[in-house]
Amino acid sequence: MAPMSKDPNPDPGWWFNTRTGEVEHGEVSRAIDRMGPYPDEETARRALEIARERTRQADKADAEWGGEDQ
């Protein structure tokens, strides 16, 4: 598969490892254990908080939707 970016030295990004609770720079661990990439270390440290907020927002949108299948 061809690389998505033509940049020979792409920024590896910051990741939150859900298994260890540690922040990693680059793709250090297995993909299944990582959340990200995030633009910086501080944001990666907030990965779980960010995910919780996104889930709250999606749940609220679902509750307000009242679509045809309800």
SS3 69: coil
* Cβ density class 20-52: b for 16+ within 10 Å, e for less: eeebbeeeebeeeebebbbeeeebbbebeeeee
Residue 8 — pLDDT band, cuts 50, 70, 90? Answer: confident
pLDDT at 2 over 90: no
What's the CA gap between 67 and 62, in Å, rounded?
9
The neighbouring-strand residues paired with 34 are: 17
Predicted pLDDT of residue 3: 42
Q: What is the pTM of this model?
A: 0.73
Helix (H) or strand (E) holding 53: helix 47-65
Condensed to tens digits (0 to 9), the pLDDT of residues 21-66 reads 999 999 899 999 999 999 999 999 999 999 999 999 999 999 999 7
